[in-house]
Every structure is written in C-alpha cells, then in structure tokens.
Amino acid sequence: MPRVFISYSHEEPEHDQWVMDLGKSLREKGVDAYLDAWDLVPGQDTTYFMESQIRDSDFVVLVCSPLYAEKSNIPRGGVGYEKNIISAEMLQANDLRPKFIPVLKKGTFDNSLPTYLGSKYAIDFREQQKQETALDELLRAIYKQPHPEKPPLGKNPFKKTGSENDPTSKNLVVASKQPMERPQHHDIDTWEKEALGRFKYLCSDRLNEEKNNPFQNGFWQASFVLFSEPNIKSLNDFLEKLRASETGRTGWDIGWVPTRDGIAPYPYQNGIEVWLAEDGDKGPGHSDFWRAELSGRFALFRGYQEDESDFQKHMNTQEKIVDFSLVLWRITEFILYLESFSKQMLVEHSKAKVKVTWNGLKNRGIGYHKGFDRIYENYICHQDTVSSIFEIASCSEIKKNLISLVHTITSPLFEIFNFFNITEEQLKNHIQKLFDPDKEGV
C-alpha cells in the first residue's frame, strides 16, 4: 500500500480537523497516511520525525494555505525545516509522477503555494470546490491511475501485429512490462540530496552566525552507495567497522573517527555522523561532515583547503582557486576509502556508485601549490557547480583501476576550467606518495 505523509501548518481548529479528516479519508481508501497529530509521540525528536516521514513516504501531501506558504518561505520552525528537506529532494528531480503533491485548501494559487513549488500543479480542495472530486484526483495521483475520462489507447492502424511479421514480438512485449528497477538506497542522486539536506540543516543549526562559516565560499560533496547491503545490525558494530575503514594515508583521513568530546561520532537515524566544524571559525579544509548508514551509504562534505589563510599566504594570493593536485589527492583518498569500507563491511565484491559534486566554483582559477607558476592564467571557471558520477563494477578491483577511476571522476571538474586537462600519467605522478601502483602490487 502507498505510504503518505501529510505536511500542513497548525492554524485554527477547523483547519486542523480538516487535515485529520483528509488523512482519515485516505486511510479508508487504503492509503497508509501519517501526520504529526497521530504519529508524533511526546518526547520524540521533531527533526527526526519530519526527516524520516518525508524520506520514507512514497508521497508527501502539502496542504497549502497562505499561512503555510508564509511559514515555508521563512527558513525556521517546523514547516520551514520541512521546506529545506523537500527542496533538497526536489532538486534536479525529473519524475513525471512527483513525490510531493500540493493541495490548495485556502487562499489562491498565488498566495498559498510556497515559492519552492514553482509551477507545480496543485489539486483544488477549497471550500467551494467539490471535495469528493478533489479527493478522487488525489487518490488517482497516489495510485497512479489515469483520469476516468481518458480513453484507452487503440491499435496502430498502419502496423500489423503478431507472429506473422515478427516472431519475437511476444517476447518484446513481455520484457517491456518488466522494467529493471533498483532499490531506492542504490539511487546515488537520491542519497546525495538526502545527505545534502542533512548537511544544510546542521550548518544552520550548529554554526554560530557571529563566527566564520567554513563553507561560505563553497564545498565539495563526495557520496557513494554499495549495491550489496552489509549484514550489520548494530550501530556499535558499525562504528568499529568505520574505525577499521580509515586508510591512514594522509594526516586528515576521509572518514576519520575522532574521539574528542564535541567532535566524536554520534548515532542518528540508522547511521553515524561526525561534525568537525563545531560552531565555526575552523579552516574549510578541516571542517568535515560525514554520514554513514547501515545500508552501505556514505557521504562526505568538506570545504576547500585552498580557501584557508595559510594556504593563500603560501600561494601569495587572495584569489580563489582550485589546486588540481589537492583534488587528485582528495578523490584518490575517497575512492581508497570506499575500497576499505566495502572490505570491512564484508561486501568487497559489491558494485558501487560514486558521485562527487563541487560547489562554489564560479570565478575560481586553477593552481598548483608546488608549481613554479602557482596560478595558471586563462583557466577560469564560469559556472558554480559541477558533478561527476561513476559506477564501479567491483570494489575489490578499485586499486587495480584506481588511476583510471580518479581520472574519469575528476575530468568533468577540470574541463570546466577552460578545458584544463591532466593525463593519467601526470595523475599517477602527482599521487605517487599517496598511492604507488608498483608498491601496492597492482
């Protein structure tokens, strides 16, 4: 049965009762409807409740009113926080059957729909409308049923069908009815957006506005999902596996599990998180946030070391750059962490999908902190964000193919700096101290 979460603003008693009646009507029609009045228990963390309901539901019904729009457009409070989560999930979404269904209860389409909905179509539930007709439209959207007046699709009058023309036609029809689908936790785009929503919330919740925000000039996000789910049931066991996954190849490990109070790992929603930025004023390149989940998902957020004052002093410049050598090291370390992670989780032969997104790139140049010409002229980026996505056939083969993997993942970033390019041989030389294929025996 479809699961639906109803998002609404608490207003007058009549409005709240209408929302509960809507939930009741949906449940009577076989829809597993959830809302805070029924399912948020005393003492439960409201942030966790909202995040989990939006994440785990097949659809989210947004009950729109002028007050709902006002609260959504202000980034604070319950409805405002829900907006952050919803916006992250809607980002770059292209599903023709969207997860978020707005319904208009009061006001007009102009003053009741939050700005993040843009031009999304809303079902009209206002008092003057026929409630049964609107409910039927909502149920059809949830159950993915066509409009009752839509006629069935007929046959092509110019095409003969059957085995007389194509003896394989029956097989083709059968195959078309069984599209290949992946479980949701294999979807790298969904995972990236979920993790990004969590990261943005923590930035707003934990960083002191009076201190320097380490991510204000940009950050990069690296995410992966394993296709084979680890058989780990306890977060305590998971934490030990994460400790063992550290590669120890640099002085600032990706996936580092600290022990000091204030930055030590903590459990959150079937996963473990580490927040190293504390309340701000730390160097961007040392302000990691990472989250790992029992299902085999991992995401890392880190600012640019190139934005730190010591680095800029070394480069003798105040210009914002991306150091291509540091990029190669970072991505190499991240892929090696994936290899170690999969091995510790006992799924080293699993497929994996990797996605890296760099933000805050516009007007940055390319440089190299050990080069003679430390900032390369005429290599300027004219866009703010770029992503790279790649599927790994087997994590056990990562070291064997590492040079090619890192080259493939980093090329989309370098190309937007006016076609800057690094060959695989140059890459190999730059990361030799981090990873030497000859010494690694691969």
- The predicted model scores a pTM of 0.62
155 vs 119: which has the higher pLDDT: 155
Q: Is 397 exposed, middle or buried (0-12, 13-18, 19+ CB in 10 A)?
A: middle
Q: What is the mean pLDDT of the chain?
A: 85
Q: What are phi and psi of 400, to 5 degrees?
A: -60, -35
Q: How confident is the model at residue 329 (pLDDT cuts 50, 70, 90)?
A: very high
CB 112 within 8 A of CB 64: yes
**For residue 319, what is the DSSP state?**
S
| CATH value of 3-143 in 3.30.70.260, 3.40.50.10140, 3.40.50.360, 3.30.70.580 | 3.40.50.10140
Instruction: For CA atoms 311, 314, 320, 325, give the dihedral sign.
Output: negative
Segment holding 193, helix H or strand E: helix 188-206
Structure tokens that stand for 361 in this block = 């790139």
CA 40 to centroid of chain Cα atoms? 25
Domain limits, the chain: 3-143, 184-440
pLDDT in tens, 402-416: 999 999 999 999 999
pLDDT in tens, 172-228: 333 333 333 344 456 899 899 889 989 998 998 899 999 999 999 999 999 999 999
Residue 320: partners with Cβ closer than 8 Å, 6 or more residues away: 217, 306, 307, 363, 364, 365
Q: How confident is the model at residue 358 (pLDDT cuts 50, 70, 90)?
A: very high
Q: Is 281 exposed, middle or buried (0-12, 13-18, 19+ CB in 10 A)?
A: middle
- Measured CA to CA, the distance from residue 375 to residue 370 in angstroms comes to 10
